[in-house]
Structure 1
């Protein structure tokens, strides 16, 4: 039986050590690209898009306002007409799949990473990651946080400041901490 690498464990949602040398290098590479994007001439939209397309695993069409940060980049997939205002952070240790026509207000955080509740494991530096899926025609309000393992259905709205720790059905408005259904749209 072949022993899994830390990256393979990460990609499979198994507990892994993010301190692994390869994972550290890949995060550094992504940080460099984010820094390049954030420092890029704002009037050169074509050049900015080129950096994002090189960073992301898949990219339909996207405009992201600086500042943007991610962990790996290659785990991010966005559809057509993706727009993110200033301060988007995507912690993409697992896949982050975003549909078409998605809007992110300033300060949105999407995190696939989590740490164990067991303090002994936490002290060892173990973490795990679970995919996030955001459907099409979703609006994510200012300062909202989407946590690991969450799926947000098409045509939904995540209110400003919401912390989404459970799946959101299609055509739903959620708000609060933790986010709760406000109404069907």
Structure 2
């Protein structure tokens, strides 16, 4: 009975901590309740990244166990890295190329048919600016949301709290610091809207 109560208390503490992280409130990144979930993620990533490049079939069950949601028909190439996995949701027919880093201390939601070129980096976490609090491992995190049919070019970095609208294209090497609307082409550091996505010709 005591073991059951202890397990329930631990689950409640973790749920409260996850809600705090997802809600953008400060938390200590070395909180002991998080460690088993980082270790679980590391084990699954080791298995995922050890697969042959041609063996997408072997990666799929690992990916479904690792992430919060995986839509049908897509693929994720190794080497893929994340911190927890449970905050990541992938839509249908997604394409994530080599060396992606999704730092999921808050939700990262990718819509359907999103393409991430090699070495894209999506960061939800941000350390405290005060050096004392930073040394004490205080962080806060903000969700990243990427709409359907978005294409991020090679090496794009997306910072905490950013939303990218549907069908938008972000040029290689860009750093996205603020929300981008739908149907635009953006590039630069910081990324700025250059023009609208061309309309299909009749």
Q: TM-score range by the shorter chain?
A: over 0.9
Q: Quick check: 1:20 aligned with 2:18? A: no
Out of 134, 139, 151, which is 1:122 matched to?
A: 134
- Kindly provide the CA deviation profile for residues 87-141 of structure 1, in whole angstroms up to 9, marking residues without a partner as x: 0000000000000111111000001001122222212210011000000000000
Cα distance in 2 for partners of 1:180, 1:43 equals 37
Tell me, yes or no, if the aligned pair for 2:110 and 2:145 is still in contact at 8 Å: yes
Contact 1:18 1:24 in 2 (8 A): no
TM norm structure 2: 0.86
CA distance in 1, matches of 2:156, 2:172: 5
Moved more, 50-59 or 144-153: 50-59
Say what the alpha-carbon RMSD is for the aligned residues.
Answer: 1.6
Give the unaligned 5+ runs of structure 1.
none
List alignment gaps of at least 5 residues for structure 2. Answer: 1-11, 198-202
Q: Deviations over 1:144-179 (max 9, x none)?
A: 001100000000001100000100000011111111
Question: How far apart, in 2, do the equivalents of 1:18 and 1:110 lie?
Answer: 18
Whether 1:10 aligns to 2:21 is yes
Aligned residue among 82, 86, 105 for 2:98: 86
Q: Deviations over 1:20-61 (max 9, x none)?
A: 112122112111111100002333322211111111101103
Task: Report whether the alignment pairs 1:165 with 2:143.
Answer: no
How do 1:125-136 and structure 2 match up within 5 A? 125-136=137-148
Q: Hey, what does 1:38 align to over in structure 2?
A: 49
Identify the structure with the greater helix proportion. Answer: 2
Tell me, in whole angstroms, the C-alpha distance in 2 between the residues paired with 1:43 and 1:181: 37
Matched, 1:55 2:91: no
Could you say which residue in structure 2 is the equivalent of 1:70? 82
| CA-CA distance at 1:10 after TM superposition | 1.5
TM-score, scaled to structure 1 = 0.94
Superposed displacement of residue 5, structure 1 = 4.8
Q: Aligned to 1:182, what secondary structure does the other structure show?
A: strand
